[in-house]
Amino acid sequence: MKDEKQGNPRHVAIIMDGNGRWAQAQGLPRALGHKAGMESLRSIVEACPDLGIEYLTVYAFSTENWKRPRLEIEALMRLMSEYIDSELDRLNRKGVSIRILGDIQPIPAALRSKVEGAVAMTSGNQGLRFSIALNYGGRQDILQAAQALAKRALHGEDPDRWTEEDLQKCLYTGDMPDPDLMIRTGGDLRISNFLLWQLAYSELWTTSTYWPDFTPEHLAGAIQDYCGRQRRFGGI
Ligand code: IPE
Ligand code: IPE
Ligand code: MG
């Protein structure tokens, strides 16, 4: 039997890496790399609907990124705030629905309320499901899901009856399909605590291109590559 080819991926997840090296390679401060990275994000979000993508999930800030110098963290938070200011109306008009994956309590209050406003404003939209992983860690995601289940056990549920689906529903991505395709830019071949549970059977695609240089053409190339693969999910 001829191999079945994939349809386009419904859910694409991206580790947007390489901003700092992109800037350093040009003798610029790292913060300018993050600024250029925001421009890339703008064009990638825009390109998704034409490529048949229903869910786009991007890694914006990890639970480990707090280890960075304070000034870099501040620059990142400021840029995210500017991104929402400049993009929200446009995204909303295009029917994009924004959601956040991660624990945003530790995020500075001004950005947090902006983010919450963006989520509330776009929650009824039926276009691209755009998830931003912000103070997100795959292990923390699984931990908070386990904690949610443990509370149910305290209310009398029997843990022996739980299935993988019960845990899956408690993840930040609870009502979303798993990523079909996970892209990492910047050349490193690792997951860096991104969607650990959700990536179990995702196809991986990496490029040495730094995120600020990543264009919709690169994305289309990744999708074309994906479409030529055979996913087996453990079968034959
Ligand atoms: C990704 O770019 C953006 C964030 C992690 C917030 P980096 O800042 O990690 O860039 P490199 O990997 O140092 O080049
Ligand atoms: C992953 O990139 C996190 C984001 C892109 C937000 P990192 O640059 O933090 O990952 P490591 O440290 O190289 O693994
Ligand atoms: Mg990096």
Residue 74 pLDDT: 98
Alpha helices, H only, the chain = 19-25, 30-47, 70-93, 109-122, 138-154, 164-170, 216-227
Q: Please check whether residue 106 lies inside any domain of the structure.
A: yes
Span from the CA of 229 to the centroid of ligand 3 (angstroms): 28
Span from the CA of 192 to the centroid of ligand 2 (angstroms): 6
pLDDT averages per 10-residue partition of the chain, 236 residues? 74 98 98 98 98 98 98 98 98 98 97 98 98 98 98 98 98 98 98 98 98 98 98 97
Q: Please check whether residue 158 lies inside any domain of the structure.
A: no
SS3 200: coil
Out of 16, 19, 32, 134, mutate this one to test ligand 1's pocket (max ligand atoms within 8 Å of CB): namely 19
CATH classification at residue 110 = 3.40.1180.10
Which domain range does residue 89 map to? 11-137+178-227
Residue 2 pLDDT: 47
Out of 14, 15, 16, 17, mutate this one to test ligand 1's pocket (max ligand atoms within 8 Å of CB): namely 17
Nearest to 15 by CA among 140, 198, 164, 153: 198
What's the pLDDT tens digit per position in 90-129? 999 999 999 999 999 999 999 999 999 999 999 999 999 9
Residue 9 pLDDT: 98
| Cβ 21 under 6 angstroms from ligand 1 | yes
Residue 6 pLDDT: 83
Ligand nearest to the CA of 76: 1
Catalytic positions, written as ranges: 17, 65
Torsion of CA 145, 149, 152, 157, to 10 degrees: 160
Q: Please check whether residue 114 lies inside any domain of the structure.
A: yes
| Shortest-distance Cα residue to atom 3 of ligand 2 | 62
Q: Please check whether residue 2 lies inside any domain of the structure.
A: no
What is this structure's pTM?
Answer: 0.97
Q: Please check whether residue 165 lies inside any domain of the structure.
A: no
Q: What is the 3-state secondary structure (H, E, C) of 18-58?
A: CHHHHHHHCCCCHHHHHHHHHHHHHHHHHHCHHHCCCEEEE
| Cβ 190 under 6 angstroms from ligand 2 | yes
Q: Please check whether residue 186 lies inside any domain of the structure.
A: yes
Residue 164 pLDDT: 98
Q: Please check whether residue 189 lies inside any domain of the structure.
A: yes
| Shortest-distance Cα residue to atom 12 of ligand 1 | 18
Span from the CA of 203 to the centroid of ligand 1 (angstroms): 22
**Domain count for the chain:** 1
Q: Please check whether residue 170 lies inside any domain of the structure.
A: no
